[in-house]
Structure 1
Amino acid sequence: MEEAISDQRETRQQEEAANNVQERRRKANEAFEKVASYGLVTNMILYLMKDYHLGVAKGTNVLFFWTAATNFMPILGAFLSDSYLGRFLTIGLASFCSLLGMFLLWLTAMIPKVKPSPCNILTQSCESPTTAQMTLLISSFCFISIGAGGIRPCSIAFGADQLDRKDNPNNERVLESFFGWYYATSAIAVVIALTAIVYIQDHLGWKVGFGVPAILMVLSLLLFFIASPLYVKLKASSSLLTGFAQVAVVAYKNRKLALPPPNASWCYHRQKDSLLIVPTSKLRFLNKASFVAFAIRFLNKACLIRNPEQDIAPDGSALNPWSLCTIEQVEELKALIKVLPLWSTGIMMSINISQNSFPLLQASSMDRHVTSSFQIPAGSFGTFTIITLAAWVVLYDRVLIPVASKIKGKPVRLGVKLRMGIGLFLSCMGMVVSGLVENIRRRRAIREGYLNNGQAVLEMSAMWLVPQHCLNGLAEAFNAIAQTEFFYSEFPKSMSSIAASLFGLGNK
Structure 2
Amino acid sequence: MAEAKESNHFPGDTESQISDSRSKKGGFITLFFIIGTVSGVMLSGFGWLANIIVYLVEEFNIESINASQISNVVHGTMNMLPILGAFIADSYVGDFAVAAISSFISSLGIILLTLTAKISSLKPPPCENGSSLCQGPSKLQLGILYISIAMASAASTALIYVQDSISWGLGFGICAAANFVALAIFLAGYKFYRYDKPKGSPFTAMVRVLVAAVRKSGVKVSSKSEDYYHDEHDGTDYKVMPATPKRSFRFLNRAALKTEGDISSDGSIARPWKLCSLQQVEDLKTVIRLFPIWSTGIFLATPFTTQSSITVIQALAMDRHLGSNFKLPAASIVVVILISASFFVALFDRFLFPAWQRLSGRPLTPLQRIGIGHVVNVLSMVISALVEAKRLKIAHAHHLDQAQHSAIVPMTVWWLFPQLVVVGIGDALHFPGHVGLYYQEFPVSLRSTATAMVSIVIGIAFYVSTALVDLIRNSTGWLPENINNGRLDNLYWILVVTGSLNFIYFLVCAKLYKYQNMEKEVDTVSNSDM
TM-score (norm 1): 0.75
Equivalent residue in structure 2 for 1:382, among 334, 338, 341: 334
1:396 counterpart = 2:358: no
Measure the CA separation in 1 of the matches of 2:431 and 2:71.
Answer: 22
Q: 1:357/1:409 Cα in 2 relative to 1: closer, same or farther (>3 Å)?
A: closer
- Match for residue 417 of structure 2? 466
- Match for residue 47 of structure 1? 55
Measure the CA separation in 2 of the matches of 1:339 and 1:86.
Answer: 29
Deviations 1:3-37 (A, max 9, x none): xxxxxxxxxxxx9xx87765565344334322322
Measure the CA separation in 2 of the matches of 1:376 and 1:93.
Answer: 36
Structure possessing the higher relative contact order (Cα contacts under 8 Å, 6 or more residues apart): 1
1:450 counterpart = 2:412: no
- Alignment map for 1:6-405 (pairs within 5 Å): 22=30, 25-121=33-129, 125-145=133-153, 147=154, 190=155, 193=156, 195-228=157-190, 231=193, 233-238=195-200, 243-261=205-223, 264-274=224-234, 275-276=237-238, 277-278=241-242, 293-294=248-249, 297-307=250-260, 310-355=261-306, 356-400=308-352
Q: Is the 8 A contact 1:82 1:496 kept in 2?
A: no
Q: Is the 8 A contact 1:269 1:327 kept in 2?
A: yes
| Counterpart secondary structure, 1:339 | helix
Q: Is the 8 A contact 1:81 1:497 kept in 2?
A: no
Give the residue type in structure 1 aligned to 2:338. Answer: I
Q: Is the 8 A contact 1:392 1:477 kept in 2?
A: yes
Q: 1:368/1:57 Cα in 2 relative to 1: closer, same or farther (>3 Å)?
A: closer
Give the residue type in structure 2 aligned to 1:379. Answer: A
Q: Is the 8 A contact 1:84 1:239 kept in 2?
A: no
Q: Is the 8 A contact 1:386 1:473 kept in 2?
A: yes
Deviation, structure 1 residue 441: 0.7
Measure the CA separation in 2 of the matches of 1:418 and 1:229.
Answer: 46
Measure the CA separation in 2 of the matches of 1:254 and 1:60.
Answer: 48
| Counterpart secondary structure, 1:314 | coil
Equivalent residue in structure 2 for 1:438, among 362, 370, 388: 388
Deviation, structure 1 residue 82: 2.3
Deviation, structure 1 residue 483: 2.2
Measure the CA separation in 2 of the matches of 1:361 and 1:322.
Answer: 50
- Match for residue 172 of structure 1? none
Q: Is the 8 A contact 2:160 2:332 kept in 1?
A: yes
| Counterpart secondary structure, 2:326 | coil
Measure the CA separation in 2 of the matches of 1:413 and 1:102.
Answer: 46
Give the residue type in structure 2 aligned to 1:447. Answer: A
Give the residue type in structure 2 aligned to 1:314. Answer: S
Deviations 1:241-270 (A, max 9, x none): 654443223212333444444xx4322112
Deviation, structure 1 residue 472: 0.9
Measure the CA separation in 1 of the matches of 2:456 and 2:76.
Answer: 8
Measure the CA separation in 2 of the matches of 1:116 and 1:131.
Answer: 11
Q: Is the 8 A contact 2:319 2:408 kept in 1?
A: yes
- Match for residue 175 of structure 1? none
Q: Is the 8 A contact 1:363 1:378 kept in 2?
A: yes
Deviation, structure 1 residue 498: 4.6
Q: 1:314/1:79 Cα in 2 relative to 1: closer, same or farther (>3 Å)?
A: same
Q: How many residues align?
A: 429
Q: 1:478/1:236 Cα in 2 relative to 1: closer, same or farther (>3 Å)?
A: farther
- Alignment map for 1:481-500 (pairs within 5 Å): 481-491=432-442, 495=446, 498-500=449-451
Deviation, structure 1 residue 125: 4.2
Deviation, structure 1 residue 495: 5.0
Indicate the percent of aligned positions where both proteins have the same amino acid: 32
| Counterpart secondary structure, 2:322 | coil
Q: 1:23/1:331 Cα in 2 relative to 1: closer, same or farther (>3 Å)?
A: farther
Deviation, structure 1 residue 415: 2.6
Deviations 1:329-364 (A, max 9, x none): 324433443332222111112221112332112122
Q: Is the 8 A contact 1:237 1:494 kept in 2?
A: no
Give the residue type in structure 2 aligned to 1:55. Answer: E
Give the residue type in structure 2 aligned to 1:205. Answer: S
Deviations 1:359-385 (A, max 9, x none): 112122222233233332222211211
Q: 1:421/1:230 Cα in 2 relative to 1: closer, same or farther (>3 Å)?
A: farther
- Match for residue 470 of structure 2? none
Deviations 1:22-79 (A, max 9, x none): 5565344334322322221222222212222222233233223323322332332232
Measure the CA separation in 2 of the matches of 1:386 and 1:240.
Answer: 31
Greater mean alpha carbon deviation, residues 133-142 or residues 273-282: 273-282
Q: Is the 8 A contact 2:228 2:244 kept in 1?
A: no
Deviation, structure 1 residue 199: 1.0
- Match for residue 182 of structure 1? none
Measure the CA separation in 1 of the matches of 2:220 and 2:99.
Answer: 45
Q: 1:22/1:342 Cα in 2 relative to 1: closer, same or farther (>3 Å)?
A: farther
Q: 1:279/1:59 Cα in 2 relative to 1: closer, same or farther (>3 Å)?
A: farther
Q: Is the 8 A contact 1:83 1:237 kept in 2?
A: yes
Q: 1:125/1:370 Cα in 2 relative to 1: closer, same or farther (>3 Å)?
A: closer
Q: 1:323/1:481 Cα in 2 relative to 1: closer, same or farther (>3 Å)?
A: same
| Counterpart secondary structure, 2:124 | coil
Q: 1:377/1:123 Cα in 2 relative to 1: closer, same or farther (>3 Å)?
A: closer
Measure the CA separation in 1 of the matches of 2:201 and 2:409.
Answer: 57
Q: 1:383/1:57 Cα in 2 relative to 1: closer, same or farther (>3 Å)?
A: closer
Measure the CA separation in 1 of the matches of 2:68 and 2:301.
Answer: 16
| Counterpart secondary structure, 1:216 | helix
Gaps of 5+ in 1: 1-14, 148-189, 283-287
Q: Is the 8 A contact 1:417 1:482 kept in 2?
A: yes
Q: Which runs of 4+ in 1 moved over 6 A?
A: 18-21, 402-405
Deviation, structure 1 residue 204: 1.1
